[in-house]
Chains A and B, each alone.
Chain A
């Protein structure tokens, strides 16, 4: 048992719980408050909520490993995501924010239902969210087990602690407690990330008898600072396309667009998020690249699964620093997971019930957390593998959302039908290839010269364009 980890984890839970409880004073007890804080949040809280929700445990586990295994191309993929997100936030996102003030939306499926004037569409979107997000949630919870293992805690404790944390910080005051704890967790993530990078630069590299210039030279000569064989153009597109539209397809971030209290808070939140995202991305990629540089010099294992790089480095750290970084990864997963639960719960509630109440909302949250924890516990491989395709399954929502927001009140009957067809066909395509090839292979397989994500996006875009044209 790692007692330093237990102490840091306890402090993290206590700190977050106190913040969540303190946020109750702002919570007015309505359903809109529960899901969107009534759109009364300032720039810093909005940016913190957006950043901590967007950046999951993938950053310090997956992206570090991807950079270690495939080189600087991982930075291109992640920064293209960040740049396209900021562009979407400055155009479509701002329009969504403005419309949400007028229309009082509390969930993304309700937004689409309202934009197209179709309850069936809202229901279909809620079903797609359930199908796509539950495996993703289960994968987040399962991923946390690796970190709890660092603290010497077993699977059972990891699952129960994850589920309680995710649910507890939603239960207290809905979006108010989620946004405030997100900011708290976002600060932990960034501070620990900086400490992680500083430790590699100032302690690990000199301690192994090499210098930074030597690591950089090793990276350059081995080709990891250029495009490695992994990043063939179709693979780069397969990774990039679903993420470029993340801001308009993933319910947990779409719902964050309803939070800012005014325009000033909105643009400031976009600016803070951008600075945060750029810094955090650079930290994760540099950690992975430096680990690879050390491997080229024979000072670090050269062939290991990418997901093992951070756990291996954690084991080499001072226990206090290692525990801080481990807790930051838990914070990243929890802040993403509770926002997903809240967004999917809001979508299910608004699509199935005209008069929801807080009791029902909290019951749906509980069911979602329990279901994803059970899926994680059952270790059904294909379920967790499905999470790889979450962003692809959600991709058909991009053209539907963009058309709905730009052509609001002009979508007409043909537009409604096209939106539904567009989502069904795009999701069916992604599901078909997942079922026939397996999720991991389907992600990078090419059909008609393009990745599955490109094909799903093309098909759904054509359908919605034709529908809107006829409207």
Chain B
């Protein structure tokens, strides 16, 4: 689980850097703003979920 989590998060982080140049190079209408906010939200939600459910700090 830990390895899968790390791999997914690293892929999401890499996409924040690479995707704008590969997929949104011509975008001008706010797509980039939506993309970066959406991925950041995904990374943050996954991190909190991981800490609570997997890393074991949900119970105090």
Contact = CB atoms under 8 A, between A and B. Distances in A.
B32 A263 contact: no
Contact of A227 (B32, B39, B57, B59): B32
B37 A264 contact: no
A274 interface: yes
A83 B51 contact: no
A264 B29 CA distance: 41
B51 A266 contact: yes
Chain A binding surface, main DSSP class:
helix
A79 interface: yes
Contact of B52 (A80, A84, A267): A267
B40 A267 contact: no
Given A83-B13, A90-B47, A263-B59, A223 B41 contact: no
Given A83-B13, A263-B58, A264-B59, A270 B47 contact: yes
A364 interface: no
Interface in B27-56: 27-30, 32-33, 36-37, 39-41, 43-44, 46-48, 50-52, 55-56
Interface in A230-284: 233, 236-237, 240, 244, 262-264, 266-267, 270-271, 274-275, 278, 282
Given A244-B13, A274-B47, A278-B41, A76 B59 contact: no
A263 B24 CA distance: 39
A227 B25 contact: yes
A352 interface: no
Contacts of B57: 94, 262-264, 266-267
A75 B36 contact: yes
B55 A83 contact: no
A271 B13 CA distance: 18
A303 interface: no
Contacts of A262: 57, 60
Contact of A86 (B20, B36, B37, B47): B47
B26 A83 contact: no
B30 A220 contact: yes
A44 B20 CA distance: 35
A178 interface: no
A124 interface: no
Contacts of A80: 13, 16-17, 36
25 contacts: A72-B33, A76-B16, A76-B17, A79-B36, A83-B40, A83-B43, A89-B47, A91-B6, A91-B50, A91-B55, A94-B51, A220-B28, A220-B29, A220-B30, A223-B28, A227-B24, A227-B32, A233-B21, A236-B17, A262-B57, A263-B56, A264-B60, A267-B55, A267-B57, A278-B41
Interface of A: 72-73, 75-76, 79-80, 82-84, 86-87, 89-91, 94, 216, 220-221, 223, 225-227, 233, 236-237, 240, 244, 262-264, 266-267, 270-271, 274-275, 278, 282
Closest 10 CB pairs of A and B: A263-B57, A90-B47, A267-B51, A264-B60, A83-B43, A274-B44, A226-B28, A79-B40, A86-B47, A271-B48
